[in-house]
Structure 1
Amino acid sequence: MNRSVSWTKYVALALALVMVLSGCGAASGGKTSGTAAASQGGGQAGTAEGGNLTFALATSPDTLDPHRSGLAVAVRAIRTIYDNLVVQLPDGSIKPWLAKEWSVSGDGKSYTFKLREDVKFHDGTPFNAEAVKYNLDRVIDPATKAANALALIRPYSSSEVIDEYTIKVNLAVPSQAFLGNLSQALLGIVSPTAAKKYGDQLGKNPVGTGPFTFVKWDENADIVVAKNKDYSWGPDTVENKGAPYIDTITFKIVPEEATRIGSVQSKQVLAAETVPPQNIAALKSDANQQLLQANTVGLPYTLFFNLRKAPWDDVKVRQALQSAVDVESIVKTLYLGNYERAWSALSPGILGYDKALEGSITPDINRANQLLDEQGWVKGADGIRAKDGKKLTLKYVDGSPNREKRNDIAAIIQQQLKPLGIAVEVVITKDVATVIYQNWDYDLYGNSQVNSDPNALYAFYHTSAEGERPTLSGLSDPKIDQLLEQGAVEKDTAKRVEIYSQIQKYLIEQAVILPIYVFPYTVAASKDVQGITFDSLGYPLFNDVRIQQ
């Protein structure tokens, strides 16, 4: 039996946690189990157990049902309520959590997990093999309407309860990403009792086995969770394996970034996420504040062309836009050197990232004009190009509120494309699910995903993924489908790297996407708060938090 499974040094997630101490301007980085050493507060003088951590979120979660959530912000709260079968460390290794050990069949298509026998859900329901089977089956049940969890669980097909605390999980095909995916918060284990009781409303009444229990959620105001006093099975990403030191966490929804960060400075909250780049310097010089930062891995913020619609099904038209958009200028202007520019469909630090693509795209307005001229798009008296009586317009859709200045990116691109003769219509919507995933009513739309394995590309670019949730690009290419299928099952690391390199090169050369930036997850916090740490994907953990009294 295996007590842990190592994913090889190449999958090192490069969490690169940085703790910037205010007043000194120095940064110290590390990969110590997803924590920043300077932020650990266990046993420090002046700190005590108890208290309420107020933590401001940039947007409101969509749901607290992990299987139905599609938003990264929801994971901040979801991670406090639910646990997973396994945990992934920053070095890529997989360690026990709710599963204490496991074995893998020779063909890689079956995993047998032995589970902890001392765990209960918050509602008293026993955690056992039946509960795990219920969860896995729930994700693939169409009635659940699973979101990102459905892509993560692929290629799960069935499971068998061997005994009360042993379960055999069967896959349709081998998957190198499956075990790591089981560690992600969106495959957290929910109470079967609660899921059956609340149905579609589980997201408003979440019940898990996690270190905190759900108290309340006032829509667009706050979410409150309280210490699970019986907790004693924390993962290896935290030092405190038992009940949290603090009594409660209040997640306050504060979309306006100046208000959110100002609330930390005015002590209305103790911590706030997603620090605006223009506030970072002030935080570093504030003797009462600290900045916590974790580089996320997975898919960087990327703009997807909708290849289902003309003229964006024409590679030369897409390449023209690729040449006209000055990504470097956008990133420097908006993020002031605090965000890295993205060059690929994958972010640095993830297995298979192709560093050779760095520097491969440079602004070239002459090339952009030439490509459009060749395709018969001619500028009219109003400066807008047209062909066959149809003007060249681009519908750029983005969500609300202005997360990470993404609305500002749209505005800049609108101006950059004007001299090229493209009229950009910027549409800001609160109903992304309908506009994007149901109606496909866009020409360009941006998204990102935190993930630990390059197999994440499958859900974004494989033709069959359309049957689960429409892919943002609408790409359908047999060659890419084949490569994605090979990458999912290939056991040889070097061969996997080569497979994903081919995919990344294709996506850039064919201008299927415009990568924009790599997102660093940042938290501004009072120095009264010690012990906020991060998991291997850059999500905050609160098991070790203490508040100076």
Structure 2
Amino acid sequence: MRTVPNLLRPVLLTAALASAALVPAIAPARGATVLNIGLAGDPGPLDPAQSGNFVDRNVFAALCDKLIDTDAEMNYVPQLATRWEWSDDQRVLTLHLREGVKFQDGTGFDAEAAKVNLDRFRTMPRSLRRAELAALEAVEVVEPLTLRLRLSVPSAPLLAALADRSGMMLSPAAIQQRGDAIGQRPVCAGPFAFTERVAQDRIVVDRFDGYWNAGAVTVDRIVYRPITDSTVRLLNLRSGQLQIVDQIAPTDVAEVQANRRLRLARHVAAAYRTLQFNVAHGPRAETPLGRDPRVRQAFEKAIDREAINQVVFNGLFVPSNQTEPPQAQYWNPMHPVGGADPAAARVLLRQAGVGRVPFTLQLANTPIDGQIGEVIQSMAREAGFDVRLEQVESNAGTQKNQAGDFDAALLTWSGRSDPDANLSIWFACNGPFNFGRYCNPRMEALLSEARGLADPARRIPLYRQVVDLYRADMPHVILYHYTWLWGLSERVEGFVPNADGLIRVQGLRLRP
């Protein structure tokens, strides 16, 4: 499951710990401009086919251009494909590729190379891209720079896949040479080429002079440092060891803003947190909470999302009750985010014929999730719910969810540019993260119909019906959308905050 790493509350550092926490500098070539970036975690394999973590995508943003990119507001824009068009029946997508693109091994990029990558993504046994490319049944080379994708069924979300890891292009020569081990030393068509990796310490990439958009790249080297503790990331930013850090903790924002040598960048995220109920997966679904949507609706009425935002996130996140951020294109305005109404919650419980409702809320074993759980626990008690908190390690939590061993679980989605990718994972009967086994034929029909349309004007009414339905059935209680928070050195210029949370290197400049 692709998750956003949790933000950690700051801890006090002794002078000795602070000194030890500073990352050592890497000596660059004389006169080279080096950008040091602190990441919230250590990326997985640097192979788009095998990547499953959000943090990987920040490194890929420097290494691997995609067929399609997204702008700051998640609109599709050209990258390795300069334009594209759908057939009238929405089952053929034709891509027109950029001329003069080279991979970092010097070989040329063309439609044949794109076909090698797409066929690998959709057929490789260990590929995590197979599900998102399930509708793709044939990849055809029409001309050297024209590619035709034939689909078994209309699938507008294909564009979102091509704007993420399914659209990242590796050198076919490197694929042939290294096979599944290519993630150890990837060769892509992006602005920076892989140089070295030391596990848990650093990933180093150097500027690729043959990049098709070389004029947009002024930094010579980037060193990515995985630092899970947000306080340590900030310490290194303050000291000048790092020039950009991602996922600043909300509790550290005031400190960044007060430091004249630092700047804060922010953007409302596509990523969100949701509380998923077990409604049909094994014995733990056989409760009033699992069986009766009125009980789940009552629980939602017990929750004050803005209070969670203020208490846990210093008011910096975005209270939300839908999979799209408020005021986004596919947001349904008929369901505004309201406050808590314990009296209305108790009325619903009486209508459902239940008294107090006990259940266990599964959380990650992080300080932030512990705080969220305590706030929810306190709110729900007044409305008639007795919530027991169970904090578990993330992998163990996933195993419990997959086995149906949960009443309710707080989960995260990093967000995508297409609304279907933010919905079907939970609400489709066979959704990959539909751990609670929610299944409504009307929901299936709406998702299928909307998936087959490319025109947003025709999709919006369908997705508003989708929101109506999941707000009535309440298999989830969506709590908030993240706000991406980056810390920047005063030396950094040209940084553009994006809704997808990625640090794009094109246009970045580093003053002496």
TM-score (norm 1): 0.78
Q: Deviations over 1:406-460 (max 9, x none)?
A: 4431343244445635242322314268526643443313112322221224532
Instruction: Kindly indicate whether residue 339 of structure 2 is the aligned counterpart of residue 362 of structure 1.
Output: yes
> SS at the partner of 1:519?
strand
Partner of residue 478 from structure 1, selected from 417, 434, 441: 441
Partners of 1:530 and 1:546 within 8 A in 2: yes
Partners of 2:273 and 2:410 within 8 A in 1: no
Per mean C-alpha deviation after superposition, the further-off stretch among 197-206 and 53-62 is 197-206
1:302 maps to which residue? 274
Counterpart mapping for 1:233-312 below 5 A: 233=213, 240-241=215-216, 244-297=217-270, 300-307=272-279, 308=281, 309-310=284-285, 311=287, 312=289
Instruction: Kindly indicate whether residue 185 of structure 2 is the aligned counterpart of residue 219 of structure 1.
Output: no
1:138 maps to which residue? 120
Deviation at 1:129, TM superposition (A): 1.8
2:421 maps to which residue? 456
Partner of residue 332 from structure 1, selected from 294, 307, 310: 310
Q: 1:164 to 1:201 in 2, by over 3 A?
A: same
Partners of 1:215 and 1:225 within 8 A in 2: yes
Q: 1:498 to 1:278 in 2, by over 3 A?
A: same
> SS at the partner of 1:251?
strand
> SS at the partner of 1:422?
strand
> SS at the partner of 2:296?
helix
Partner of residue 187 from structure 1, selected from 167, 182, 185: 167
1:207 maps to which residue? 187
Deviation at 1:91, TM superposition (A): 6.6
> SS at the partner of 2:414?
strand
Instruction: Kindly indicate whether residue 298 of structure 2 is the aligned counterpart of residue 320 of structure 1.
Output: yes
For residue 456 of structure 1, what is the amino acid of its counterpart? A
> SS at the partner of 1:313?
helix
* Separation in structure 1 between the aligned mates of residue 345 and residue 178 of structure 2, nearest angstrom: 54
1:396 maps to which residue? 362
* Separation in structure 1 between the aligned mates of residue 415 and residue 385 of structure 2, nearest angstrom: 35
Partner of residue 166 from structure 1, selected from 128, 138, 146: 146
Instruction: Kindly indicate whether residue 50 of structure 2 is the aligned counterpart of residue 73 of structure 1.
Output: no
> SS at the partner of 2:169?
coil
Q: 1:251 to 1:197 in 2, by over 3 A?
A: same
Deviation at 1:487, TM superposition (A): 1.0
Q: Deviations over 1:111-148 (max 9, x none)?
A: 222323422222344322222112222222260331xx
For residue 300 of structure 1, what is the amino acid of its counterpart? Y
Q: Deviations over 1:76-104 (max 9, x none)?
A: 11111111112333576644322234443
Q: 1:280 to 1:61 in 2, by over 3 A?
A: same
Q: 1:349 to 1:363 in 2, by over 3 A?
A: closer
Deviation at 1:289, TM superposition (A): 0.8
* Separation in structure 2 between the aligned mates of residue 447 and residue 341 of structure 1, nearest angstrom: 14
Q: 1:537 to 1:463 in 2, by over 3 A?
A: closer
* Separation in structure 2 between the aligned mates of residue 106 and residue 49 of structure 1, nearest angstrom: 54
Q: Which runs of 5+ in 2 are unaligned?
A: 1-29
> SS at the partner of 1:144?
coil
> SS at the partner of 1:209?
coil
Deviation at 1:159, TM superposition (A): 0.9
Partner of residue 39 from structure 2, selected from 57, 62, 69: 57
Q: Tell me the percent identity.
A: 24
Deviation at 1:346, TM superposition (A): 1.6
For residue 397 of structure 1, what is the amino acid of its counterpart? L
1:410 maps to which residue? 373
* Separation in structure 1 between the aligned mates of residue 76 and residue 57 of structure 2, nearest angstrom: 20
Partners of 1:457 and 1:484 within 8 A in 2: no
* Separation in structure 2 between the aligned mates of residue 198 and residue 394 of structure 1, nearest angstrom: 47
> SS at the partner of 1:226?
strand
* Separation in structure 1 between the aligned mates of residue 114 and residue 73 of structure 2, nearest angstrom: 26
> SS at the partner of 2:321?
coil
For residue 394 of structure 1, what is the amino acid of its counterpart? T
* Separation in structure 1 between the aligned mates of residue 429 and residue 138 of structure 2, nearest angstrom: 20
Per mean C-alpha deviation after superposition, the further-off stretch among 418-427 and 515-524 is 418-427
Q: Deviations over 1:522-545 (max 9, x none)?
A: 211110122222456342211222
1:13 maps to which residue? none
Q: 1:323 to 1:91 in 2, by over 3 A?
A: closer
Instruction: Kindly indicate whether residue 416 of structure 2 is the aligned counterpart of residue 445 of structure 1.
Output: no
1:122 maps to which residue? 104
* Separation in structure 2 between the aligned mates of residue 270 and residue 179 of structure 1, nearest angstrom: 33
Q: Which runs of 5+ in 1 are unaligned?
A: 1-47, 235-239, 380-384, 386-391
Q: 1:464 to 1:141 in 2, by over 3 A?
A: farther
Aligned CA RMSD, in angstroms, stands at 2.8
Q: 1:213 to 1:401 in 2, by over 3 A?
A: farther
Partners of 1:153 and 1:182 within 8 A in 2: no
> SS at the partner of 1:296?
strand
Partners of 1:154 and 1:178 within 8 A in 2: no
> SS at the partner of 1:318?
helix
TM-score (norm 2): 0.84
Partners of 1:79 and 1:185 within 8 A in 2: no
* Separation in structure 1 between the aligned mates of residue 179 and residue 390 of structure 2, nearest angstrom: 37
Partners of 1:284 and 1:290 within 8 A in 2: yes
2:6 maps to which residue? none
For residue 343 of structure 1, what is the amino acid of its counterpart? N
Partner of residue 228 from structure 1, selected from 193, 208, 219: 208
* Count of residue pairs brought into register by the alignment: 475
Q: 1:545 to 1:233 in 2, by over 3 A?
A: closer
Partners of 1:175 and 1:489 within 8 A in 2: yes
* Separation in structure 1 between the aligned mates of residue 426 and residue 261 of structure 2, nearest angstrom: 46
> SS at the partner of 1:206?
coil
Per mean C-alpha deviation after superposition, the further-off stretch among 48-57 and 72-81 is 48-57
Per mean C-alpha deviation after superposition, the further-off stretch among 128-137 and 177-186 is 177-186
Q: Deviations over 1:233-277 (max 9, x none)?
A: 37xxxxx44xx2112111111111222112211222112111222
Per mean C-alpha deviation after superposition, the further-off stretch among 523-532 and 81-90 is 81-90
